[in-house]
Structure 1
Amino acid sequence: MLIHLTPSFFLDYSDVSVNLIDVQIPELGLHLKNEKDITVRFPAPNKRLHYVCRKKGRKAVYGILLNTDKHVTDITVITRWAVQGDVSTHRVHMHIMGADDAATDVIHLWSGVFNTPFGDKAPGLTKNWVPASCQPRLSVCAGDRPSEREQAIWRLADPAGIIRQQTEYYTAATVESERLTTPWRDYDRLPAPEDAFDCTVREYPDTLRVLYAYPGVTVCPITEHEELIESDLTEEGKRDAFTAIIQPVLQEVRAVCPVFFTNTTNLMNSIRRFSTHFRALSDAEKRFVEYQINQPLFRVSVS
């Protein structure tokens, strides 16, 4: 499978230093280092946009190509940048939708193109996305580039307001491989197929996977989910089970990960990784925890 990714940084300040450190994708066993495997270039007219590309030649292109040994639907793209001398980490939990033999995270490349064999590949939930504000991209401060996908983005900033962690859930689309490899108008700055990094798909325990196609994925504080579970179990006459089993597990995880992505495996992944209380439970109690944690959560909008 050919995968086109565009890790990037939007720098809106002349007095802030930004340097690429590396890009990692655990599901593909990939760890690309700045100035060894990859570098930063400026293919866009807007030179505030820093794009990661392969360190080869001098042409500025949009992103990198990966050639995997089999089809993949969920990957974690972790890009680290040095911003004012300290590390800022951008983590994108990417869910790839479609059945084509290639994929790209670039929103405008999903659109149908007139007078070509390339039809519309945009997933339904992305139809109204605006590329300028919805493309996954790190910035110095949250206010520099507000996203229309804010409900699926979590940020942690330092006292100066610089983002040090940005984690988001993002839906990408499959496309025809020819769309990424055929040189033609508007596609002349994509990476060349021969510059793709070869990758082997592997298991990664922290891969975020979507549990329900509906009602969608949003960021939710663990405290809010904990209150919902407590209310439900109290109503069912099982408050003791909440106090003895659920609450200690969530308290341990909340200290490390205060939020999670709803309707995904994200919270259970964190529980398995960080909760010693969970690991000490019986199999039946673990199944009870998983059942409570993985209940579908709906977001209610009041207008």
Structure 2
Amino acid sequence: MLIHLTPRIFGHRTAEPCSLIDLTCAELGLSLMGGTDLTARRPYLNKNYLVACRKVGQKAIQGVLIDTPKLVRDFTVVTRWNVEGSHIATHRVRYLVLDEEFDAVSDNMMLWHAIHGDERWKTRIPDLYLGIAHVAVQPRMDVKPRRERSDAVVYAFDEQGCVVERSETFLMHTIERERLHGHYCSNNERIPGIEAAFVAPGPADGVPAPDPQHRIWIFNPEEAADYPCTTEVEILLGGVGRVMYPDGMEQFVDDDAEPVHIYSPKLSKAELELFCEKNIAHYQAFHEAHEAQLAICERVPMTPFWEN
């Protein structure tokens, strides 16, 4: 399987200088260092975007190509950037592959479109992203926070208000390999060639992939035919769970009510504190971002345990 990714950061090219530190993916067994394996260049007309690519030649290339021995349906890529020499900004993207029809994926949404009058190329855009501008969906790190499309993006800040982490989930359908290296679109010349692909060894034997800041439960067996992957449940403090299905559908589940679509077991206070202790900053931001949506759902957010 070929995986084409474009790890990138948006910041003013002179006033907010950035440099690439590293890129890691536990599920693929990848650990790539900036300055050795990777570099960062500006392949777009908007030169405020800095994009990671393989350190070879001088041409500004759009992202990296990864060759894996088998299809990977769920993986998380963590990219770290040095921002203005003052702090490190971490970009965490969880990629969910929605099907197994073809043997390539790309987070470059320009490669997903159908071509009018050419039956070879069907649209590969997930329903969740239909009608949404690419710039509002495609993963990116920001030097400064920007207004987002939804709660799908979570920022974390330091004491000075600088963005130190951005976490998001991105859905992708598989695509034909020919979209990467054929004459499908005009930007093919800046997509890395197959000879520049990194070969992913997969995770080391006996070393499980780390929990990517999520609590995973298995959904109701009677519902299993409707969804290709396990259901992801992010536990909100106060006993309310946010459920995001692989097809992008979301719902809120109250643990005190009879679950409709999932098993959502109640956590004891000790379990909840232990779970949140590992991801305290992430869940503080997550809790604040969801208060408005919880109000829409006519639920009153409860006081987080760290404020009691």
Q: Unaligned regions of 5+ residues in structure 2, if any? A: 220-226, 242-252, 259-264, 284-292, 299-308
How far apart in 2 are the matches of 1:196 and 1:7?
A: 15
Q: Which amino acid aligns with 2:209?
A: Y
Partner of 2:127: 124
Q: Quick one: structure 1 residues 28 and 210, their matched pair in 2 at CA, closer, same or farther if it must change by over 3 Å? A: farther
1:217-236 pair list within 5 angstroms = 221-225=236-240, 228-229=254-255, 231-232=256-257
Distance apart, 1:257 and its partner CA = 1.8
* 2:160 matches 1:178: no
Partner of 2:91: 90
User: Which whole-Å deviations, capped at 9, do the CAs of 1:10-51 have from their partners, x for residues lacking one?
Assistant: 013632231110010110110111111110111100000111
Q: Secondary structure at the match of 2:31?
A: strand
Partner of 2:246: none
Q: Quick one: structure 1 residues 199 and 125, their matched pair in 2 at CA, closer, same or farther if it must change by over 3 Å? A: same
* RMSD of aligned residue pairs (Cα, Å): 3.0
1:1-303 pair list within 5 angstroms = 1-12=1-12, 14-85=14-85, 86-99=87-100, 100-116=102-118, 117-143=120-146, 146-148=147-149, 150-183=150-183, 185-186=185-186, 187-202=188-203, 203-206=208-211, 213=227, 221-225=236-240, 228-229=254-255, 231-232=256-257, 246-258=268-280, 301=296
User: Which whole-Å deviations, capped at 9, do the CAs of 1:159-199 have from their partners, x for residues lacking one?
Assistant: 33211011111112210011112255412211111111011
How far apart in 2 are the matches of 1:210 and 1:138?
A: 29
User: Which whole-Å deviations, capped at 9, do the CAs of 1:71-116 have from their partners, x for residues lacking one?
Assistant: 1111101000011322111100110122211000112211112344
Q: Which amino acid aligns with 2:115?
A: V
Moved more, 59-68 or 198-207: 198-207
On the 8 A contact 1:27/1:76 being kept in 2, the answer is yes
Q: Unaligned regions of 5+ residues in structure 1, if any? A: 234-240, 261-297
On the 8 A contact 1:105/1:173 being kept in 2, the answer is no
On the 8 A contact 1:141/1:162 being kept in 2, the answer is yes
On the 8 A contact 1:154/1:219 being kept in 2, the answer is no
How far apart in 2 are the matches of 1:21 and 1:88?
A: 10
User: Which whole-Å deviations, capped at 9, do the CAs of 1:191-247 have from their partners, x for residues lacking one?
Assistant: 111111011333514256796649x97976334538943x449xxxxxxx96xx621
On the 8 A contact 2:61/2:190 being kept in 1, the answer is yes
User: Which whole-Å deviations, capped at 9, do the CAs of 1:128-183 have from their partners, x for residues lacking one?
Assistant: 3311111110111213xx231x3111111113321101111111221001111225
How far apart in 2 are the matches of 1:185 and 1:73?
A: 26
How far apart in 2 are the matches of 1:127 and 1:218?
A: 24
Bigger share in helix: 1
Moved more, 112-121 or 91-100: 112-121
Percent pairwise identity = 29
TM-score, normalized by length of structure 1? 0.74
How far apart in 2 are the matches of 1:210 and 1:95?
A: 16
